Structure 1
Amino acid sequence: MRRPQLYVHAVDGVSFEIREGETYCLVGESGCGKTTTGRALLRLIDPENIAGGRVLFRPSPKTLEEVARLAPQAVNGELGVIDLYKVPNKAMKPLRRELQIVFQDPFGSLNPRMKIADILEEPLLVHGIGSTREERLEMVAKALEIVKLTPPEEFMDRYPHQLSGGQRQRVSIAKALMLNPRFLVADEPVSMLDVSIRAEVLEILQMLKEKYRLAQLFITHDLALARYVCDKIAVMYLGRIIEEGSADQMIDNPSHPYTKALVAAIPEPDPTNRLKVRLLPIKGEITSAIHLPKGCRFRPRCVAYDENEAVRPRCDSAEPQMVEVEPGHRVACWLYS
Structure 2
Amino acid sequence: MIAKSLMLLLSGLLLLSGCGGTPVRKLEESKSPTPSPVENAPQVETSTVASEIRPAIQDGSITPNTTPTSGDAQLVNPPTIATPITTPEPLSEKDSMTTVTIDPSQVEKLVLMNGSGPLEICRDPQASTISFTAEVISRAVGLDRARELASGVRVLLDNTAPGRYRARIIEPQLQEREECLIDLKVTLPADDSVDFDLDIQDSDGSIAIEGFKGNLSITSLKGAIEIFQAVGNVDLSSGTGPCNVIGVEGSLKIRDGAGACRVSEITGPIEIWGREGELEVRYVTGEVLLIDGRDGATVQSIEGDVTLFGFDPASCVIEGVSGSVLYKTGAP
TM-score (structure 2 length as normaliser) = 0.25
Give 1 or 2: higher helix fraction.
1
TM-score (structure 1 length as normaliser) = 0.24
Q: Which structure is richer in relative contact order (CA contacts within 8 A, separation 6 or more)?
A: 1
